[in-house]
Structure 1
Amino acid sequence: MAAYVEILKSEFPEIDSEVFEYITGVLDSGATDFEDEEEVFDAIGGVLQEVSPDSKNEDDIRDICLQLFNTLKLYDLCCHTHPPLLSCCCPLSVLTVSAATEVQGIWMVKRPQNTTVDAKKLEKAEAKLKAKNEKRNEKDSQKSSGPVVLEEASASQASSKKESRVDISGKNRSYDIRIENFDVSFGERSLLQGAELSLASGRRYGLVGRNGLGKTTLLKMLASRSLRVPHHISILHVEQEVAGDDTNALQSVLESDTVREGLLTEERTLNARIANGTADGLESVRLSEIYIKLEEIEADKAPARASVILAGLGFTPQMQQQTTKEFSGGWRMRLALARALFARPDLLLLDEPTNMLDVRAIIWLENYLQTWQSTILVVSHDRNFLNAVVTDVVHLHSQRLESYRGDYENFIKTKEDRLKNQQREYEAQLQYREHIQVFIDRFRYNANRAAQVQSKLKLLEKLPKLKPIEKESEVTLRFPDNFEKLSPPILQLDEVEFYYASEHRIFTGLCVSADLDSRICIVGENGAGKSTVLKLLMGELTPVNGIRHAHRNLKIGYFSQHHVDQLDLNVCSVELLFKKFPGRLEEEYRHQLGSYGITGELATRPVASLSGGQKSRVAFAQMTMPCPNFYILDEPTNHLDMETIEALGKALNKFKGGVVLVSHDERLIRMVCKELWVCEGGKVKRVDGGFDEYRDLLHEQFRKEGYL
């Protein structure tokens, strides 16, 4: 925002500091809302006229407002022409930031003591802007379309004039982030109240908590700077997949480093002018400066670094040369992650990064992030990933944030110790209160002890109000198993050959089988055919050659990794079950949903308004209602919180039917699976050593390929 600050200070060198803060605050908050220079004039024109009544007339003020409006729109355009997958909130560009910092650093004007502003005009301008914003908000609320009106998230925090002045002046060069006393809400629901968040530069934080409490919302508030993060700290939020176009994958990653791209573009322009003979001496000087900066950032090594990142995330050399429009949504999300890792922002925000990755890519990402130099805040429900990556844990619960040093296992231990200590303290205080109350009750009507009784009553009143320890309710899941035991073979693929096109064979000679005692996990790289195996087992795909055999009483429950796409988002969960299984009482639907944590008003809210984890629970409730005797689960842990994943593992172990699942969650695999199948090279082979052997094989492969 340095550009409009420069305009204000050059046009009004004797401006009062409080008025300056008010004007910059109006411009900062309304940057994206002003539609023309007239609206800027309506908001601050009266105040600017009061600041300089003699030297500038109304036309002069309108011209200045036009300059301010153009500056704001230039800033807005710059922010929104960054690649759409990244919520990039750095001011204009690194070069602009540097220049702006220099301007602010030397602009230390001591204001004259006689500078005044008409308080009534200031108040009138504030009221006018407030009325305009209220009118716009009312208009926006009337524009809502579609059958479901989704609530919006918002954030507010106590502001400090001192912090604002330091931030605007450009003197704050710390990369630590501290946000105090802030609130976050989603519609009418309060997610955080009076919370504090401290992120030390260079540390890696895991944000954990139950589904629906606001972890994703908090990341969005940080990325959009609805919560105040110092302007010089660049933020990248991996939120959306890369838009498909004709840019190849490698070039798409290289373009995410806007500083390097800007320098290279300027270098090409200057060289062209020098070659055409249209350049003066300044171009040669500037070209030398560019070469120095390119050398400083090691621009020549960038393609190799980008290629290593892409390879680690599963992109083969051929895939790196493919255009982005050729990739599926899952691969474009990987590309978004690759761009963020390559750009190396000061604050990297990751929301469930392992959801889009296979086990191989997760292990590579764990190793890569362990050497990350700047700050990371990651939401993840993958216990092993957090243990491998994070240095600190931030726990969101009871509308507040609590920080813990160490990995996730240390967080669990420390949290349990804290709860035990708090419980002991609570019980000791309760016992002390009871002791005082016994004395009061015993001598209440004893005249000789009246003074002591009064003293005890006053002591009791002064004691802090006791609150019982808040413990998160335990998550329990149950898969009904009131069915008869089936004699094997239950489900079998014998010498199966399958392909979508004859020149692209996916499987040949596939021989696998499962029964009601099976606990089988299928792993392998994305595209190796894991989901295809599941669909062959279910009978959704017909083998080109070979036989699928299934018991006549086999009843399969299927959980798709794209389960959200199969839910009707425009109805509530109760109505969803009613449509799928009509003819039952509402209490039955509510009981079924309640078994998976969708209780009370959650069951009557539109499915679209639920968090990702809550939608998964609705999908579980829908899948289990017909009481299947065999479950096929494709990435069931996506979006589930840690407690629910733990409950899912326990429920699957208690279930008396068969289970085949595709998962990348190491914790769930170790809890549940007795057999590990690896999809690779058109075959499915069993790994006798289980997950440990598979992990060792991947590490050895990484070392050979030079990715570790």
Structure 2
Amino acid sequence: MLSHVHACAPGLVRVGIMATYVEILKTEFPEIDVELFDYITGVLECGRTDFEDGDEVFEAVGGVLQEVSEDRQNEEGVRNICIQMFNTLRVSRDGSQKQVLLDAPVQLSQISADTGPQTTDVEGIWMMKRSQNSTVDAKKLEKAEAKLKAKHERRNEKDSQKSSNPLVLEEASASQASSKKDSRVDQSGKNRSYDIRIENFDVSFGERVLLQGAELSLASGRRYGLIGRNGLGKTTLLKMLASRSLRVPAHISILHVEQEVAGDDTAALQSVLESDTTREGLLDEERTLNARIANGTAEGTESVRLSEIYGKLEEIEADKAPARASVILAGLGFSPRMQQQQTREFSGGWRMRLALARALFARPDLLLLDEPTNMLDVRAILWLEDYLQTWQSTILVVSHDRNFLNAVVTDIVHLHSQRLDGYRGNYENFIKTKEDRLKNQQREYEAQLQYRQHIQVFIDRFRYNANRAAQVQSKLKLLEKLPELKPIEKETEVTLRFPDNFEKLSPPILQLDEVEFFYSPDRPLFKGLNLSADLESRICIVGENGAGKTTALKLLMGELTPVNGVRQAHRNLKIGYFSQHHVDQLDLNVCSVELLLNRFPGRTEEEYRHQLGGYGITGELATRPVASLSGGQKSRVAFAQMTMPCPNFYVLDEPTNHLDMETIEALAKALSKFRGGVILVSHDERLIRLVCRELWVCENGSVRRIDGGFDEYRDILHEQFRKEGYL
């Protein structure tokens, strides 16, 4: 009936309330190709009187629909859609409803008696009629089948690549709810605030949800430390912000220090200067205009433009830029000679420092730093702490260095339980505030629990007392209205243990006497080196990158042979070594259990699992390929491998890289309890303070002991910064 005519897709009139197969097709597959759409509707139209059930419709077009479906494995979903389309065909065929496809516009008021007299008062409604004996267009069919075949081949190629490489990395994704008002304000350019507020957003990595319904607020000019256990999504969140997968106002510039600078012929200093694109653009334009003026080809307006450029260059203090870039590079450890070196001459670690220098020089509105201290020595870290304390715009930094966070950040963002919680103050303040919050929550939980129990006792006592029925009902309603009780979530404590079931060794245990060493005779590294250690030693070696710290460790371990001088070691000394590049010690193609089996054969699987479990590699993690583990998990596997033979002396080269703060704390406790000797190279101030009783400084071809420990070393470095003008 005309009272049931509804607006629908172009070319279609629908009588009754049931959707047509055309509408179903467009709704379920909105991005379907025109050729495929015509092909499928042609098949359905031709078979209108022949299809017996929905399964026959599925057999006719289901394979095609599965190919264009986002989830081509969902056969049942496509089959249900085919059943829905068959029902619309059956209704039309049985005459209980009328569906007409037109191929020429016809006004309903002009339609003859087929539709009855009720149609005459309907004006301005048009429909299209398609011939009922239409057939499938052979050319369209060939084109559609060719498209499907190509699409199918591409998918099969992707599947074969995935099957041949089981370690394909999953991709991260982010989504958020945003109001149209916010979007309009952002697009209009009227939003001039540099505060960032992202509400109700989700972040996933593959199928794993990292954040759900989270909120992040970053006030302009404040410095935020993003903390949380390894693997919870801190790095992924930074990447989502940097790629603007999460909506950051368009006028806010973002720099994410993530990848090292590409190596080419550009000098290090020039590479840093080029990161200021505004200055570089103005200088290029200035050179072009001056060349035209010199050649006499300039127009009158170009002199005016040149004056504008000079004004802007003066405004941004372009003449001071080389000096500012040089100070940043020097602070990060680049000598004057190194600043003139080409970027391709630097190692990956130095190129990462160069990337950090470029970001500091460019001064973005939002600076994203991911473990910036991993690539730096103690001297560069102390300089960076001082430099960032005067930073004017917003910083969001992920760091495991507790002292760095205490020195730099004004706020903490804690990632846990798929959400973000904000705290004012540095890391120490966060720890205190968090403990206070947990205590208050625990007291509230216990009070609510006691109150519930009190009400329940009354209900149980008078449940069957007729005189108290009204009171019991009142108490039951009260109990229902009370908020749901949730116990306090406490993060599991990280524990590490270094076994020390060995006999004491009498000194001397390990020493170097008058050792001389060089890799090239024209560049001596050490001369007259005298070092000694015993099972009571807790020594940390510090110094600038390239000063020879790792070389000194290898001389002590006997991995390098002195050119002159003598290395002496106790015959029962057993050294466990943790390399700065510990991943090189691991076979990435096997699982952790198999790795220990290959290295230490003859034990049971339970023993290997127990060893790995002591370092947090439990359950399914122990049977995953080592290559698929995170950086922190690989470090734990390296610890498990290092401690398996029960060494009585540990040499650790930068052991905190990739570890979260909880694991660093556990490492410090384990080393403090260990009864053997320890020598470590580290830039983590907290680990040094918790573990070491001696500080050795490696510089100028020697290794010397500082009696005042880390405090004296810090004072020496700060005095150098002041004298050399690096701050």
TM value normalised by structure 2: 0.78
* Alignment map for 1:19-34 (pairs within 5 Å): none
Q: Which residue of 2 aligns with 1:122?
A: none
1 CA distance for matches of 2:316 and 2:178?
36
Deviations 1:195-253 (A, max 9, x none): 10000000000011111111111111111111111111111111111111111110010
Letter in 2 for 1:415: K
Letter in 2 for 1:392: D
Which of 692, 696, 704 is equivalent to 2:711? 692
Q: Is the 8 A contact 1:151 1:609 kept in 2?
A: no
* Distance verdict in 2 for CA 1:257–1:138, change over 3 Å: farther
Which of 248, 255, 262 is equivalent to 2:281? 262
Q: Which residue of 2 aligns with 1:217?
A: 236
Which of 339, 343, 365 is equivalent to 1:320? 339
1 CA distance for matches of 2:261 and 2:289?
31
What secondary structure, in the 3-state scheme, does the structure 1 residue paired with 2:514 have? Answer: strand
Q: Which residue of 2 aligns with 1:460?
A: 479
Gaps of 5+ in 1: 1-39, 44-117, 119-130
Letter in 2 for 1:278: T
* Alignment map for 1:619-630 (pairs within 5 Å): 619-630=638-649
Which of 567, 573, 577 is equivalent to 1:558? 577
1 CA distance for matches of 2:713 and 2:283?
43
Of the structure 1 ranges 386-395 and 557-566, higher mean CA displacement relative to structure 2 is found in: 557-566
Q: Indicate whether 1:665 and 2:684 are aligned.
A: yes
Q: Indicate whether 1:651 and 2:670 are aligned.
A: yes
* Alignment map for 1:333-348 (pairs within 5 Å): 333-348=352-367
Q: Which residue of 2 aligns with 1:426?
A: 445
Q: Which residue of 1 aligns with 2:436?
A: 417
Q: Is the 8 A contact 1:223 1:237 kept in 2?
A: yes
Q: Indicate whether 1:446 and 2:465 are aligned.
A: yes
Q: Which residue of 2 aligns with 1:95?
A: none
Letter in 1 for 2:488: I
Deviations 1:436-468 (A, max 9, x none): 111111111222212221221222122121110
Q: CA deviation at 1:510?
A: 0.4
1 CA distance for matches of 2:572 and 2:463?
75
Q: Which residue of 2 aligns with 1:577?
A: 596
Q: CA deviation at 1:581?
A: 2.4
* Equivalenced residues, count: 584
What secondary structure, in the 3-state scheme, does the structure 1 residue paired with 2:526 have? Answer: strand
Deviations 1:63-103 (A, max 9, x none): xxxxxxxxxxxxxxxxxxxxxxxxxxxxxxxxxxxxxxxxx
CA-atom RMSD, angstroms?
2.2
Q: CA deviation at 1:137?
A: 8.5
Q: Which residue of 1 aligns with 2:389?
A: 370
* Alignment map for 1:218-257 (pairs within 5 Å): 218-257=237-276
Of the structure 1 ranges 442-451 and 651-660, higher mean CA displacement relative to structure 2 is found in: 442-451
2 CA distance for matches of 1:217 and 1:437?
47
Q: Which residue of 2 aligns with 1:188?
A: 207
Deviations 1:514-555 (A, max 9, x none): 111110000011111100000101111100000011111111
Q: Indicate whether 1:681 and 2:700 are aligned.
A: yes
Q: Which residue of 2 aligns with 1:477?
A: 496
Q: CA deviation at 1:601?
A: 2.6
Q: CA deviation at 1:267?
A: 1.3
2 CA distance for matches of 1:228 and 1:605?
35
* Distance verdict in 2 for CA 1:604–1:366, change over 3 Å: same
Deviations 1:327-349 (A, max 9, x none): 11111111111011001011000
Letter in 2 for 1:366: E
Letter in 1 for 2:298: A
1 CA distance for matches of 2:612 and 2:271?
44
* Distance verdict in 2 for CA 1:202–1:137, change over 3 Å: farther
What secondary structure, in the 3-state scheme, does the structure 1 residue paired with 2:350 have? Answer: helix
What secondary structure, in the 3-state scheme, does the structure 2 residue paired with 1:623 have? Answer: helix
Letter in 1 for 2:343: T
Q: Indicate whether 1:356 and 2:375 are aligned.
A: yes
2 CA distance for matches of 1:181 and 1:571?
40
Q: Indicate whether 1:155 and 2:206 are aligned.
A: no
Which of 146, 164, 170 is equivalent to 2:165? 146
- Bigger Cα Rg: 2
Which of 519, 522, 533 is equivalent to 1:500? 519
1 CA distance for matches of 2:161 and 2:321?
46
Q: Which residue of 2 aligns with 1:606?
A: 625
Which of 528, 532, 540 is equivalent to 1:513? 532
* Distance verdict in 2 for CA 1:406–1:135, change over 3 Å: farther
What secondary structure, in the 3-state scheme, does the structure 2 residue paired with 1:508 have? Answer: strand
2 CA distance for matches of 1:347 and 1:139?
40
Q: Indicate whether 1:538 and 2:557 are aligned.
A: yes
* Distance verdict in 2 for CA 1:133–1:386, change over 3 Å: farther
1 CA distance for matches of 2:318 and 2:624?
51
Deviations 1:561-605 (A, max 9, x none): 111233233433223323322332222222112111122233233
1 CA distance for matches of 2:268 and 2:591?
40
Q: Indicate whether 1:294 and 2:294 are aligned.
A: no
Which of 290, 307, 332 is equivalent to 2:326? 307
What secondary structure, in the 3-state scheme, does the structure 2 residue paired with 1:534 have? Answer: helix
Of the structure 1 ranges 208-217 and 560-569, higher mean CA displacement relative to structure 2 is found in: 560-569
* Distance verdict in 2 for CA 1:440–1:173, change over 3 Å: same
1 CA distance for matches of 2:161 and 2:194?
40
2 CA distance for matches of 1:197 and 1:618?
34
Q: CA deviation at 1:425?
A: 0.4
Which of 404, 416, 419 is equivalent to 1:385? 404
Which of 272, 275, 293 is equivalent to 1:274? 293
1 CA distance for matches of 2:155 and 2:398?
31
Gaps of 5+ in 2: 1-30, 35-125, 127-147
1 CA distance for matches of 2:588 and 2:175?
29
Q: CA deviation at 1:272?
A: 1.6
* Distance verdict in 2 for CA 1:623–1:149, change over 3 Å: same
What secondary structure, in the 3-state scheme, does the structure 2 residue paired with 1:540 have? Answer: coil
2 CA distance for matches of 1:189 and 1:584?
35
Q: CA deviation at 1:170?
A: 1.2
1 CA distance for matches of 2:207 and 2:365?
33
Deviations 1:627-646 (A, max 9, x none): 11110000111121111111
2 CA distance for matches of 1:706 and 1:135?
63
2 CA distance for matches of 1:593 and 1:157?
39
Greater RCO structure (CA 8 Å; 6+ sep): 1
What secondary structure, in the 3-state scheme, does the structure 1 residue paired with 2:249 have? Answer: coil
Q: Is the 8 A contact 1:347 1:376 kept in 2?
A: yes
Letter in 1 for 2:617: I
What secondary structure, in the 3-state scheme, does the structure 2 residue paired with 1:171 have? Answer: coil
* Alignment map for 1:171-210 (pairs within 5 Å): 171-210=190-229
Q: Is the 8 A contact 1:598 1:618 kept in 2?
A: yes
Q: Is the 8 A contact 1:147 1:570 kept in 2?
A: no
Letter in 2 for 1:496: V
1 CA distance for matches of 2:32 and 2:185?
27
Q: Which residue of 1 aligns with 2:113?
A: none
Q: Which residue of 2 aligns with 1:437?
A: 456
Q: Which residue of 2 aligns with 1:567?
A: 586
What secondary structure, in the 3-state scheme, does the structure 2 residue paired with 1:543 have? Answer: coil
What secondary structure, in the 3-state scheme, does the structure 2 residue paired with 1:660 have? Answer: strand
Q: Which residue of 1 aligns with 2:121?
A: none
* Distance verdict in 2 for CA 1:135–1:390, change over 3 Å: farther
2 CA distance for matches of 1:178 and 1:207?
15
Q: Is the 8 A contact 1:556 1:629 kept in 2?
A: yes
Q: Is the 8 A contact 1:490 1:551 kept in 2?
A: yes
